[in-house]
Amino acid sequence: MQKFLVTLMLLGVAGAALAEPQNPPPANALVGYDKYELAPLAMGPPYEGQGPNEKAKVKMQGFLTAETGVIVDGWNQKAQGSAKGQSLKIEPRVEKIKFIGGGARFWAGALAGDSYVVIKVRLTEQPSGKLLGEPEFYQRASAMSGAWTFGGQDNDMLHRVIVLFDHYLEANYSQAAGGPTGYDPK
């Protein structure tokens, strides 16, 4: 019986170790601000100026505008009439990226390697500048899945990372809860 209990305990620890890493919750829930501002997606050196990465940034900005923008617009409509004098600035930034475009996938296939993207988001109160949190979101497309889909998985990865970000915002609106990073150690 004791061996059985020890085995169960070890399986529980192993399962917890394999669980997806989580972003910590922000310092407070995101509800209650007078205004919400979504900054454009930023990307700095060494990734900016590289053709495939710039194309990926444009695609991700499109998802941010179409999907995250709707969330922020809804929050701004709810916030009208509040008198706290505080706003929340949401600043997404590409921290790391390697995007394999369709042409490279067509000619090199899996030999072009994996695609991946890491986006970090600063959540700051204005005008105080208080940092509420910096969640980080990760997605990748394996070389083989990218090759078999002729770049479809590489492009889908760009949408999945924004969906993770959107889910984090929505999950932390009413209460500070954190959320998945999307990191997969495989």
What is the per-residue pLDDT for 50? 81
Residue 62 belongs to domain spanning: 22-97+120-136+156-175
What is the per-residue pLDDT for 117? 87
What is the per-residue pLDDT for 114? 63
Q: Are 93 and 124 in contact (CB under 8 A)?
A: no
Give me the tens of pLDDT residue by residue for the chain, a chain 186 residues long: 555 544 444 444 444 445 779 999 999 999 989 999 999 999 999 988 888 889 999 999 999 999 999 999 999 998 866 657 889 999 999 999 877 665 555 554 554 556 678 999 999 999 999 999 999 999 876 444 444 454 556 678 899 999 999 999 999 999 999 999 988 765
Closest Cα to residue 136, out of 116, 115, 106, 108? 116
Q: Is there a domain that residue 51 lies in?
A: yes
Quick one: tokens of 47? 């990734």
Q: Is there a domain that residue 39 lies in?
A: yes
What is the per-residue pLDDT for 175? 95
How distant, in Å, are the alpha carbons of 35, 90, 98, 149 from that of 113? 42, 32, 9, 14
Q: Is there a domain that residue 63 lies in?
A: yes
Q: How many domains does the chain have?
A: 1
* Chain centroid to CA 45: 19
Tell me the whole-structure pTM to 2 decimals: 0.81
What is the per-residue pLDDT for 107? 52
Q: Is there a domain that residue 170 lies in?
A: yes
Q: Is there a domain that residue 45 lies in?
A: yes
What is the per-residue pLDDT for 124? 97
- What pairing do the DSSP bridges indicate for beta strands 136-141 and 115-126? antiparallel
Q: Are 101 and 61 in contact (CB under 8 A)?
A: no
Q: Is there a domain that residue 3 lies in?
A: no
Q: Is there a domain that residue 59 lies in?
A: yes
Q: Is there a domain that residue 29 lies in?
A: yes
Percent helix, strand and coil across the chain, each rounded to 5?
45, 25, 30
